[in-house]
Structure 1
Amino acid sequence: MRNMSFCLIMSLVITTMTISCTSIAPVTKTEITTKVETAAEASRRYPELKSAIIKYNVSGMNNGTETVYIDDWGRREAIYKKFTTKMMGIDLERNFITLITENGKWVYNIDLNSKTAIKMDNKGFKALQGNTGSNMGVAIDAVKVGTEEILGKTCDVWKKSYPYSMVWMWKGITLKKDQDVAAMGVITEAIEIQENVSIPEDKLTIPSDVKVKVLDPRALSTG
């Protein structure tokens, strides 16, 4: 009798173990890879554009050019600005680079005239990931007022009343911007777009002669 009870118990244990093992499906490498790829795609700053070089004309208070280099779905981006502005009757030429790294986490504002740069932690960068409808060029509380084509690209047009600004967005990228700056207008409009092109590494690198300072967030909260 004792032997029968022992055999019955062992049989139940073996059956339970068998059921438990068969109910746990192993995670395959394919499933892991798919999940990683899905997460990577969701975090793209520009989900529909792997790389691009966009050239702009700037007119109004500032007159000059702007060139944007986008790489790896926006994981790295550089904005080169070269313009002339009039101050107290004197024309001043300015050269700036805005470098965005780590998918928007870090922003470097580089002044090529003074050879200095400020590194800032972009706290709100995750809110811009995977959003083709807006990016940093879209003003808060802007209202969509229609669509319009620029260089053959259909753009959503956004407008803000005060301070006045209008932005033409394509795939999350600003192709045209009309805004008031210091009570004067500045219009920035794309004149050339190259999609899915190789971006020169030096365009995404801080020049070696530039000194970088890290901005302390506490400095912004003090008077």
Structure 2
Amino acid sequence: MIKTRFALLLLCLFLSFSLCTTAFAEKNPWDIKLPFREATIQYSITGSETGSETLYIRDYGKEKASHRKSTSKMMFMTTQTDQIEITSPDWVYTIDMKERTGTKVTNPVKFMIEEYNRLSSKDKDMVNKNVQEMGTSLMQGMQGSVQQNAEKILGYNCDLASVAGTTSYSMHGTDITLKSDVSMMGMKFSTVATKITEGSVPGDVFAPPPGIQVTHDKEADDAARAMAKSTIDTLKSPDASQKMQEQAGDAMNQAESAGQQAPPANQGSGQDMQKAMDALKGMFGK
């Protein structure tokens, strides 16, 4: 499970640069503002995994909290999931409500921003230039594709990303998924938004529930920090596009290999791949 999450974390880091397009060239490449300040999105999960998920959004997407309750069936095994994930600019919490335990890691985007802000103006210009030009080659390295404004869901234009047995529709130019289909490790399930309510959300959903024992995964932090530095160093170079295409392919292979080695009843890898897919949206500009 740890290996799977780590490989997908690397993949997410690679994909996150692609969110920077011409429209973002003069500001932080990872500062993506949603079309609403606060909202609640309800999802239905069907297929090998059935259940529901609620996503709470605050401060135009800087803070998110999701609560997923589902049942997964594969062969003769049934797995119950009751999981909360909380994301802030500083931390990402993953909480198992059944076990009453959780882990927290530093938000990997924070490391990316720190490394980017250390660059000279000249190097920032090179990073921005490379990111704007590398979207197509990066997707080719992962044998995937992105189609902007492919479908309208609940009134929102959505971009379609497809890679590694997963398709995902997200609000145009954002990482908010409204529909996804995952097919991997013998599992096939769909997650579809059924209702979006704009307006205030409960403040307590953005903190771990009382009584949860949360452990800080410092090893994951160290890995993410090293990857952020390595990636920004690569993006500074004139041949960044070729290097990133090769490295993104390697990260995808690691994610797929880790997923194949995971226990069949473990649904984490499929959900994590869906999150990795979120980073693909908006890579070709608005």
Residues 218 and 194 of structure 1: CA distance in aligned 2, closer, same or farther (over 3 Å)? closer
Name the count of aligned residue pairs.
168
Structure in which a larger fraction of residues adopt helix: 2
- Answer yes or no: is 1:91 the counterpart of 2:78: yes
- Answer yes or no: is 1:100 the counterpart of 2:87: yes
- Answer yes or no: is 1:81 the counterpart of 2:83: no
Any idea what SS the aligned residue of 2:108 has? coil
Any idea what SS the aligned residue of 1:202 has? helix
**Structure 2 CA distance for aligned equivalents of residues 73 and 218 of structure 1:** 27
Aligned to 2:101: 116
**Structure 1 CA distance for aligned equivalents of residues 177 and 80 of structure 2:** 24
**Structure 2 CA distance for aligned equivalents of residues 218 and 200 of structure 1:** 30
Residues 166 and 43 of structure 1: CA distance in aligned 2, closer, same or farther (over 3 Å)? closer
Check conservation: 1:50, 1:73, Cα contact below 8 A. Answer: yes
Higher Cα Rg, which structure: 1
Any idea what SS the aligned residue of 1:124 has? helix
- Answer yes or no: is 1:54 the counterpart of 2:41: yes
**Structure 2 CA distance for aligned equivalents of residues 126 and 73 of structure 1:** 21
**Structure 2 CA distance for aligned equivalents of residues 218 and 179 of structure 1:** 25
Q: Over the residues paired in the alignment, what is the CA RMSD in angstroms? A: 2.8
- Answer yes or no: is 1:215 the counterpart of 2:217: yes
- Answer yes or no: is 1:180 the counterpart of 2:168: no
String of CA shifts for 1:63-94, please: whole Å, max 9, x gaps.
Answer: 00011000011221101100011256353322
Check conservation: 1:44, 1:74, Cα contact below 8 A. Answer: no
**Structure 2 CA distance for aligned equivalents of residues 213 and 175 of structure 1:** 31
Residues 74 and 219 of structure 1: CA distance in aligned 2, closer, same or farther (over 3 Å)? closer
Select the residue among 183, 193, 196 that pairs with 2:196.
193
Aligned to 2:145: 143
Q: 4+ residue stretches of structure 1 with deviation over 2 A? A: 41-49, 86-93, 122-128, 139-142, 218-221
**Any unmatched runs of 5+ in structure 1?**
1-37, 129-138
> Quick one: which amino acid aligns to residue 78 of structure 2?
D
The percent of aligned pairs where both chains have the same amino acid is 28
Answer 1 or 2: higher relative contact order, Cα 8 Å, separation at least 6: 2
**Structure 2 CA distance for aligned equivalents of residues 183 and 87 of structure 1:** 8
Structure in which a larger fraction of residues adopt strand: 1
**Structure 1 CA distance for aligned equivalents of residues 91 and 147 of structure 2:** 32
